[in-house]
């Protein structure tokens, strides 16, 4: 048992506990905070296998940005509390499927990679950058277009529409357009 394995078991115990509490917690805000714990432990695991760049990306994007998004949406949707409002009636079935997935994966992993060891070798950010921009330039650009599309889409979807009762002529006129001449009907309304 090397020192790395002892540290990893510590991180994995906390991370696994956070993951299980995340899916069983009765309070959505607590669930979001358990997600923070799990994501931070996953980031620690990345550091442990000497993948520093992806570890900091994990901390920045997941622990920094995604958790804030989740907490904001919990706040905007009035975060209900209680098992009956958070869980459906398929808990036993879902537990069976989850346990089956876990058992199958563990059997498969032990059978295929039972005694294999990772010999850790530090990976610098420069190496990752060279790999991205030498071998994966096109996927990188595609992903940036995807992010732009997702950004625009999220804004369009979540934007508040104007109220259904407002007639179209009461919208704010475009900049630079001349004020329309006042018809008698509008003059009465003003």
Name residues contacting another protein, limited to 41-80 (CB under 8 A): 42, 45-46, 48-51, 53-54, 57-58, 61-62, 65-66, 69-70, 72-74, 76-78, 80
Q: SS3 sequence, 23-81?
A: HHCCEHHHHHHHHHHHHHHHHHHHHHCCEHHHHHHHHHHHHHHHHHHHHHHHHHCCCCE
Total of residues contacting another protein (CB under 8 A): 89
Considering the complex, state which of residue 10 and residue 173 has its C-beta at the smaller distance from another protein. Answer: 10
Tell whether residue 33 is a contact of another protein (CB under 8 A). Answer: no
Considering the complex, state which of residue 136 and residue 186 has its C-beta at the smaller distance from another protein. Answer: 136
Q: 94 to 133, contacts with another protein by CB under 8 A?
A: 94-95, 97-99, 101-102, 105-106, 109-110, 113-114, 116-121, 123, 127-128, 131-132
The least distance separating another protein from the CB of residue 72, rounded to whole angstroms, comes to: 8
Considering the complex, state which of residue 64 and residue 173 has its C-beta at the smaller distance from another protein. Answer: 64
Considering the complex, state which of residue 80 and residue 173 has its C-beta at the smaller distance from another protein. Answer: 80
- Select the residue interacting with another protein from 10, 30, 93, 173 (CB under 8 A): 93
Give CA–CA dist 51/30, Å, rounded. 29
CB count in 10 Å sphere of residue 31: 19
Give CA–CA dist 132/121, Å, rounded. 19
Tell whether residue 38 is a contact of another protein (CB under 8 A). Answer: yes
Give the C-alpha distances (Å, rounded to integers) separating 89 from 14, 26, 93.
Answer: 28, 15, 9
**CB-CB contact of 119 with 126 (8 Å):** no
- Stretch binding another protein (CB under 8 A), from 3-11, 169-177, 179-187: 3-11
Tell whether residue 14 is a contact of another protein (CB under 8 A). Answer: no
Distance from first CA to last CA of the chain, Å, rounded? 82
């Amino acid at each position: 048992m090397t020192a790395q394995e002892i540290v990893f078991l510590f991180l994995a115990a906390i991370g696994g506990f956070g993951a299980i509490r995340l899916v069983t917690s009765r309070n959505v805000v607590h669930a979001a905070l358990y997600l923070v714990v799990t994501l931070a432990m996953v980031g620690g695991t990345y550091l442990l296998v000497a993948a520093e760049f992806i570890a900091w990306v994990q901390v920045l994007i997941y622990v920094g940005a995604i958790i804030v998004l989740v907490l904001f949406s919990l706040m905007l949707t009035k975060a209900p509390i209680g098992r009956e409002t958070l869980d459906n009636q398929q808990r036993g079935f879902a537990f069976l499927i989850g346990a089956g997935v876990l058992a199958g994966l563990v059997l498969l992993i032990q059978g295929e990679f039972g005694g294999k060891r990772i010999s850790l070798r530090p990976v610098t950010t420069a190496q990752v950058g060279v790999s991205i921009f030498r071998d994966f330039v096109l996927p990188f650009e595609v992903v940036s277009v995807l992010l732009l599309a997702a950004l625009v889409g999220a804004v369009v979807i979540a934007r508040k529409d104007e109220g259904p009762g407002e007639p179209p002529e009461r919208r704010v006129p475009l900049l630079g357009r001349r004020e329309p001449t006042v018809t008698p009907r509008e003059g009465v309304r003003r």
